[in-house]
Every structure is written in C-alpha cells, then in structure tokens.
Structure 1
Amino acid sequence: RALTGRVLEVLQRWAADERCAGSRLVVLTRHAVLAVPDDRAPDPAAAAVWGLVRAAQSEEPGRFLLADTDGDDVPWAAVGAAIGAGEPQIAVRAGAVFAARLVRAAQTAGLPVPAHAAAWHLDIPEPGTLENLRLSPADPEPPLGPGQVRVAVRAAGMNFRDVLYALGMYPGEVRLGGEAAGVVLETGPEVAGLVPGDRVTGVFTGAFGPVAVTDHRLLAPVPPDMTFAEAAAVPIAYATAYYALVDLGGLRAGEAVLVHAAAGGVGTAAVQLARHLGAEVFATASPGKWDAVRAMGVAGDRLASSRDLGFEEGFAAATSGRGVDLVLDALAGEFVDASLRLLPRGGRFLEMGKNDVRDAGEVAAAHPGVRYQAFDLWEAGPERIGEILAELLALLRTGALRLPPVRAFDVRQAPDAFRHVGQARHIGKVVLTVPRPLDPAGTVLVTGGTGGLGALVARHLVTAHG
C-alpha cells in the first residue's frame, strides 16, 4: 500500500505538470512480472505497481513506460530503445529485452483419458523417455481385503522415484504414485475409524488415477482447513524426513544437521523438523531457491549451493572444523565424499538417494565413527508410518510445522510435471490433480440459473452429465 501510494502520487503530479507534456515517465521495477519460463516469483509490491501503472497507461496513453529488470543495474539502453519503439512495457532478463505480445495460445490437450473406461491410471509401459507416459485403462477392481480402503483420489504427490523410474533410472518395477489425498469410497473388513465420505491422506501404490486402494494403517484424516493438493504433498516427504531424523538419526537438540536439497519436498520438511527438534541446520540448495530456504530460518552462513562442493569448506569454517552430527543426503559422487568429511567427529550419514549407495562397512573404515545407512520409508512398516503421519499432521495443525510450497498439475499434463520435477525446477512439492467427475446422484447449484448462460449450463449438466 505504501509503495503504490507513493507511485500514484508521482503519476498524478507528472500527468498534471504541463512541463512534462511531451515526455514519458519511466517506472523502473525489479522482479515485478514473469517474463521468461522459470522466472523467479514476482515481488508482490512491485507487481502491484505494474497493475497501477497499467491502469494509468489506459487513462494517459503514451505518457508512461513500465520497465522491469532482474538486477541492480539499470538497463538504460533497453529503456531508450523501448521509448524509441513506443513500447508501453518491457522486461529485461539477463540482458535480453522482452515486450508484451498477444499470440495464439498453444494447444496442449494433454494425455487423453481412456474412453468408456470405468477406471484408469497413469503408467509408462516402456520406461526411458517421458514421451511414453500414458493414461491406461485399469483392471476391474477386486473386492477389498481385510484392512484395505478404497479412496477416490483428488490429488497425488510426485516424488523423484516416479521420475527416475519413468526415465529408466530406477531399479526394479514401480507403480507410479506413492501418496495421495482423497475421499473414502469403501472400507474392507477389519477397518475401524474410517467410513465412506471421510477425507484422508496417506501412502499408496499406483495413486495416479481416479481410484486407489491402500492399507488403512497408512491413512490419516485430512484437517478441515487443508486442501487435497496440500494434503497430498505431506505423506512421503514429511514422513521420510521424520523417519530419518527421529527414528534413524535420533537427532537431539543442540546437534548440527546438514540437509541437502533443502528446497525440495523432503528437504523442506527436514529443515522445519530439525529446527522444531532444536537442532542447528546447515543446508544446500540451488542458488535460485535460497530465498525459500532462508524463509524457513536457515541463516546465510549456514546455506550453500548444491551445485558445487563449496559447502564443505564453508560449513567446516562456520563450525571451526567441528562439522555436523548428522547428514541427510540425496546427492551422489564427490558430493557424498565431501559430506562424509563434514563428520570429522563421527556421526550419522543417512542416504535416501538411490544413485550412489555406499557400503556401510567401507564408509566406517574410511571415516571412523561414522554410521552410514541407506534407507527407504517403507522399511518403517505400515504401523509406524501411520503413527508418523498422525504426529506430523498434529504438528501441522498446531503450526509447529508448515506445509511446503505446492504446485499442482492436472494428471493429463503429467509429462510436463515429470519434466518439471526431473529438472529440479520446483520448490517444495509437485502434485497431480485428478479430474473429478460429476456425480449423477449428487446436486449442482447454478447461481444465476435463469440467465442465458446459466440456462445453457443447467441444460448441459442434464444432457451431458446425467
């Protein structure tokens, strides 16, 4: 409000000053708009200035120029060129100048949903390229067994394992979609505490589709103020971080922990959980994601790039050579070696990645006092996973932990989502939302239903959706 108020005052004075009648006023902002793919998130105050000046441009054509930059240097040459060309708005990114243009939207129909299929799921018959992802008809659903629950999936969380398998880089066979949130459709024998209609989240296999089945012990109720997309982002990432730091690592208050890839799903959860436990957090992330990690309370000298090995020297200096007590790792190669050297007093090294699993005995021989353990969440078992999930949701309800940033893709845009995660362009979690069919036995409220558009919608609901 303060910034737009000041800008409005300047615009009004400029427009009223006869001496400025033949000139254009340049309003220079930084990171106010999205100009290129993967541009950083706009600054809300600067974005509001753009909205204000655009309105002023419609009232005073040709009087104002909006110029947005990505750095501290003022792009005077670009501004001069824009004035000469009569452009009303420009953005400068890495020295290149972009202007607003209206073009035909790309037609991205996405993956086709199988026609006339009662159920379907996302799969990849031939892993190796994301172009092989498809929505395939699912087999008829068998009756539920003891302890099983059938859930109508509303959103399903994505994990690197899904991407690695799709690219042919993960051992064994994987059913895509390991976590989801939705509504209980049916419960099997020996299931207590859940009834049809309950909103739940938890761990599944094959959750990228409209319906999935899981063990009731792997489910927990979704808090009333949490969306399905948010709830789907919690189970694997947060439970993995909890299982690693609490069950396996025994992290205690006052200890130091290094969390690699701290802007990802597990990393976001691990940083928050470690701070909640009273530990000192060191973290790595891509420089473009540092703001997100700082926002979780990680100090500047405790944050380093995950793209180079500089974190070893920086964190060793920050701790006067003591290093850390626990490393939560998802990297590979020389990054693993550098991280192991940050345990000079011994400690715990927990490996959740699959690309560079070491032999625990060899690690112990090379790094005395270091306990190396590669792990997977499934090792905890259904009972423990359910307990962890319930504890995490309680921490989220009280505000002790926060949800990660969530970006949702429609499941029909799965190749785009897989590519986004595979290129590590996301912060927090990516989820796939599932189209929700209209229930012919349900009801629809059409506000303004007697108007022209409302009447057409009402008729379409009847004739096309029963």
Structure 2
Amino acid sequence: VRATAHQGLALVQRWLADERFAAARLALLTRDAVRTGPADRPVDPAQAALWGLVRSARAEHPGRFVLIDAAGTGEPADALSGALATGEPELALRNGLLLPRLVRGGRADGTLSLPDGDAWRLTTDGRGSPEDITAEPAPEAHAPLGKGEVRIAVRAAGLNFHDVIAALGLDPDPGQQGLGSEGAGTVIEVGPGVDDLAPGDRVMGIFGGAFGPTAVADRRTVARIPAGWSFARAASVPVVFLTAYYGLFDLGGLRRGESVLVHAAAGGVGMAAVQLARHAGARVFATASPAKWDVLRDGGLDDAHLASTRTTDFAERFLTATGGRGVDVVLDSLAREFVDAGLRLLPNGGRFVEMGKTDVRDPETVARQYPGVRYRAFDLMEAGPERIGEMLADVLDLFGQGVLRPLPVTGWDVRQAPAALRSLSQARGVGKNVLLLPAAPDPEGTVLVTGATGTLGRLLARHLVVAHGTRHLLLAGRRGGSADGMPELVRELTGLGASVTVAACDVADRAALAALLGSVPAAHPLTAVVHAAGVLDDATIAGLTPDRLDRVLRPKADAALALHELTRDLDLAALVLFSSGAAQFGAAGQA
C-alpha cells in the first residue's frame, strides 16, 4: 500500500507541475481497485489507496484526472478508447463500461433474506435457476445426536459444481444430497462415542446441510482445522482435494512415471489434481481457458503441457507432444465432443475417470469403442465415511509437510449465494468459491475498539453498549485512560452495566497489539473488533510528502493488516474497519 501510494503521489505531482500538460487529463489504469458487485474479485488495498489519493487530487484540480479500473488479469486495451470518450472521471471495465452512481441504500438485488435463529439452510426447488434458492427451516439441525455424530456451528461452506447442478435442476438424484456438502466451523456438541472432540474445537470436513448456520456431521468425515487456517481456507479444501485424490489414485490408479490429463485445471478440483499428480511423480497435461494459463504456469506447468478448454484441439496437441502415445489417465469434467476428444488420448488403453454429471457414458459401450479403456464415472460420497476420513487425514498431512498449497479463495456472504453459484457456473474465477456465514457476537465475549480515546471511538463505544448490548469492552488508544473524556465515559458505560477496560496501545505496533490481544481473558474471549484508529494530517496534493502519507497510513492500514493477521484464527463475529469519506468522494486538502 505504501509503495503504491508513494509512486502515485510522485506521478500526480509531476503531472501537475509540468505546464505542458496543463490542458490534458491523466488517466490512471488500475486493477481490482473497486468492487462493482458480488462477482468481482476482492479489492486490492494498494490499488484502492491510489483511487483515494487521486480522488482528492481531482477535487483540487477538476478535470485533470480519470480513474479506470480493470478486473484482474483481463486485457482492457480494446475498451480504453471507449472509456476515455465518455468524459466520465471514474469507470470500471466489467464486460462493458460501469459508471459509479449514488443510489438509495437497501438490500442489493439478488441477495437472500435469512430467517432468524440458527436452524435453517439454503435449498432449491430445482426449477432451473440459482435465483430460486431460498432459506428454509431445518429443524433436523437441532435433532438429538446419534452415535458418532458432531453438531457444528458452520462459519464457511465450500461451493462445488454439484451445487450448480442442483440449483439448475439437473441433479439426477436431487433428494440424496441437496445443497452444501462441505464446510468448516466450531463444534457445538458431540454425540455418544465421540471422545476426541469437544465444544469449541475448530473442524472442517464433508457433511450435508453446510449452507446453513448449524449442521450435523459424521465424526469420521471431519478433522481439526490446521493452525493458522481461516474458516474460509478450511472450507475450500475437503471436496476439491478429496475428489482429486479419489479420482486420481483410488479409481485412476495413477502411478509415478505415468501421465495424466486434467481438464478445467484452473478450477478447484483441477488445481488440486495438478498438485497431487505432480507430487506423485506423474507427467501432467492440463486444459483451461487461455486467460487462466498463468495460474497453471505458477503451478509448475510449461506451455507444452497446456491447452484450451474452448476447443477439442487439446487431443491432437497432446498426442503430438507424446509422440502418439497419449496419456495413461484422463480426469474429466467436460461433456459431449470434449469427452470424445479425451477418449482419443488413450490410444493404448488407460483409465478415463469422469467427475462430470451432465454426460455420463456407459462403461461397456466405451470399452467397445475404445479398446483397453476403463471408463469410470464417480461421486466422492461413494467412497464412504471411512475412506473419506482416511483421505482427509492424508491430504492434511501433505499440507503439513508443505507439499500442497491452499487454493485461491473467493469468499461470498451467504446472502449472495445466487450470485456465487452463477459465477461458478460461468467459470469466472480460479480456485475455490466459499460461502461465509455470519455469526452473532458472543454475549459474554469482548469487543475491542481501537482509536477509542478519540471522538469517533468514544461514540462507538457508547453505541455498542446502548444499541447492541455489549457487556465487555476493551478500549484501546495511544493515550489510554488519560485521554480527555475517558474517565467520564468509563463511569457512564459501567453505570449501564458494561465491564470496561481501557488500554494505552499503539495498535500499529504489532508486538504491542499482540500483547493487548493476549490480555483478553479466556472467560470473555474476543468476539468482535472495531478499528477506528486514525491520524489527521491534512495537506494539499502539492504539499504532501511520502512521510506525511506514511504517518496517516500507519495507524489505519498497517494496524488493519496487523489486526487481520493476529485475529485470523479467532472466531470473530465481526471485524469492522472505519475509513475516510474523503477516500470515497474526494475532498480538497485531504489526499
């Protein structure tokens, strides 16, 4: 963030100081600086900081700057001339030109309304659209536990292609599984025979009903979350890595020295399969959209082992690359002519392992048409709970050894499930999509407010107690209890029934912040953080220096990153970050 802000400041100052450009506009092209909707990638904080800086510069120098944001690795060149021709000061390139406009606040189109309580889950009537998904009561989530069962408070749930199939009404057995088959969360209760888990343990695994706040799992199909993993990361692992593991090794029999074709290798299962196959010593060929090939190159594949999923040319390409030998195993997820092309890559026989659901072939017919080819379509759940547990343990051991790397994760609020499923169905991203489920603050937990000795911090502390019923507050500020108004605030909040601790802490000092977080009593664990710390150092763009930028960024951006990293393993209900309206709307003298 600092480096980008420094470079942006230097560029803007040089532009404004050069009289040759006095009548010209400077267009700055960024990537992922703004989020235009739920399908966008996460915002890049460094690029977003540049937008805030330039907005204030534009307020001081109207008509001199244009901000254009492109999505991810997309190539915006063709759209730039049209964007500049609009005369608009800000644009986003997202399958067309998007312009920022203020609208009345409220629930965004396509988001779901969730019922009260913790016994519901997302379901679909199978009419053929993700927009038909609804949240319905799930009383079975509170049913008495049977032997070997575990009740879990779900915090994140992985999205899989099966969920897309079910939402589109294409599931051949809609009553068997439903939506949501993997997740991560904390143990609420254990049933008879479960003596190695206890309430509060963080777990991940395969279980139904994961698209809801409470689910019941078979103990055999869940495992403890590794230290340092967020719930989102944990929820992104089970189905993709176990599907790849089961398909490659249990069914495909892949061995060291053999070759394998992995289709859709930039998706979740594909990326997992590439890692597992390479670790096993196999030669890996892969297909993906050409725009995603950089992801596969980062995974160790060269261009000779890459082809497009858009055409069937991959068959001839890889036959040529192997001198006509083809491959030993095909891990397939495509359909129609792409399946036929994949089968042609087994001219000497081999194993064709089908993960897809929309074009399942008859094994005997395939064997007659392609001698020596063993065709096997499968679903992970057929492995059974014992084998699922064994594979999950093996995969987590490989992560622990550093052999496997987590996939890129895109998180969606569970209320955005229709948009998330639509994005997955259109293969817009790479890696894994995960639904995030909100958790209510623990009424016995502690809420940390940073910058609490300032005016905003004191207002927030009072609001938390009066409006939200917070009973345990940790108020942090550089001046601690000696700040103006703090003794009076503590007396007021104590009188309202809250327990208040005031601490002197520079939250941008990572060691001091870690010590502060470590002081939170176990009886009242941290349940939420409100980051309101900040420093004002107003200046016009011409008078701004890198040191002045750093002075403002330190308590806001540096401290936010430290808070994120130091609390990522905690089960926080909320991490709220306050920013400046000047960064959103632009304000002269406040760059």
Q: How does 1:54-453 map to 2 (within 5 A)?
A: 54=55, 56-66=57-67, 71=75, 78=82, 81=85, 85=87, 87-90=88-91, 99-104=99-104, 107-108=107-108, 110-115=111-116, 117=117, 119-125=119-125, 127-139=127-139, 141-172=142-173, 173=175, 174-446=177-449, 448=452, 451-453=458-460
Paired residue type of 1:249? G
Distance 2:395 2:239 in 1: 11
Distance 2:269 2:391 in 1: 14
Distance 1:420 1:156 in 2: 16
In the superposition, relative to structure 1, how do residues 100 and 364 fare at CA in structure 2: closer, same or farther (>3 Å)? same
Shift of 1:282: 1.3
Shift of 1:340: 0.4
Equivalent residue number for residue 459 of structure 1: 466
**Contact 2:262-2:274 within 8 A present in 1 as well:** yes
**Contact 1:253-1:279 within 8 A present in 2 as well:** yes
Distance 1:134 1:74 in 2: 40
Shift of 1:323: 1.3
Specify every segment of 5 or more residues in structure 1 that has no aligned partner in the other structure, as ranges: none
Deviation string 1:401-456 (CA, Å, 9 cap, x unpaired) is 11112122222222222222222223222222222123334444455398122111
Distance 1:72 1:413 in 2: 27
Deviation string 1:334-359 (CA, Å, 9 cap, x unpaired) is 11110000111211110111222212
Shift of 1:66: 4.5
Shift of 1:183: 0.7
Q: After alignment, is 222-231 or 425-434 more displaced?
A: 425-434
**Contact 2:363-2:376 within 8 A present in 1 as well:** yes
**Contact 1:32-1:50 within 8 A present in 2 as well:** no
Q: RMSD between aligned alpha carbons?
A: 3.3
Equivalent residue number for residue 486 of structure 2: none
**In structure 2, the residue corresponding to 1:451 is in which secondary structure?**
helix
**Contact 1:446-1:458 within 8 A present in 2 as well:** no
Distance 1:382 1:149 in 2: 14
Shift of 1:39: 6.8
Distance 2:81 2:370 in 1: 56
Shift of 1:16: 2.7
Shift of 1:326: 0.8
Shift of 1:62: 3.4
In the superposition, relative to structure 1, how do residues 193 and 6 fare at CA in structure 2: closer, same or farther (>3 Å)? closer
Paired residue type of 1:113? L
In the superposition, relative to structure 1, how do residues 319 and 462 fare at CA in structure 2: closer, same or farther (>3 Å)? same
Shift of 1:362: 1.9
Specify every segment of 5 or more residues in structure 2 that has no aligned partner in the other structure, as ranges: 473-496, 498-591
Distance 1:30 1:441 in 2: 44
**In structure 2, the residue corresponding to 1:257 is in which secondary structure?**
strand
Distance 2:285 2:339 in 1: 15
**Contact 2:34-2:69 within 8 A present in 1 as well:** no
Distance 2:442 2:10 in 1: 53
**In structure 1, the residue corresponding to 2:156 is in which secondary structure?**
strand
**In structure 2, the residue corresponding to 1:143 is in which secondary structure?**
coil
Q: After alignment, is 411-420 or 234-243 more displaced?
A: 411-420
Q: TM-score, normalised by structure 1?
A: 0.87
Deviation string 1:258-311 (CA, Å, 9 cap, x unpaired) is 111112211111111111222222111223333323322222232222122121
**In structure 1, the residue corresponding to 2:139 is in which secondary structure?**
coil
Distance 2:62 2:350 in 1: 66
Distance 1:136 1:80 in 2: 47
Equivalent residue number for residue 585 of structure 2: none
In the superposition, relative to structure 1, how do residues 120 and 238 fare at CA in structure 2: closer, same or farther (>3 Å)? same
**Contact 1:30-1:68 within 8 A present in 2 as well:** yes
In the superposition, relative to structure 1, how do residues 111 and 17 fare at CA in structure 2: closer, same or farther (>3 Å)? closer
Q: State how many pairs are aligned.
A: 460
Q: TM-score, normalised by structure 2?
A: 0.70
**Contact 1:66-1:90 within 8 A present in 2 as well:** yes
**Contact 1:26-1:67 within 8 A present in 2 as well:** no
Paired residue type of 1:138? A
Distance 1:135 1:41 in 2: 26
Deviation string 1:181-202 (CA, Å, 9 cap, x unpaired) is 1111111122232111110001
Distance 1:427 1:68 in 2: 20
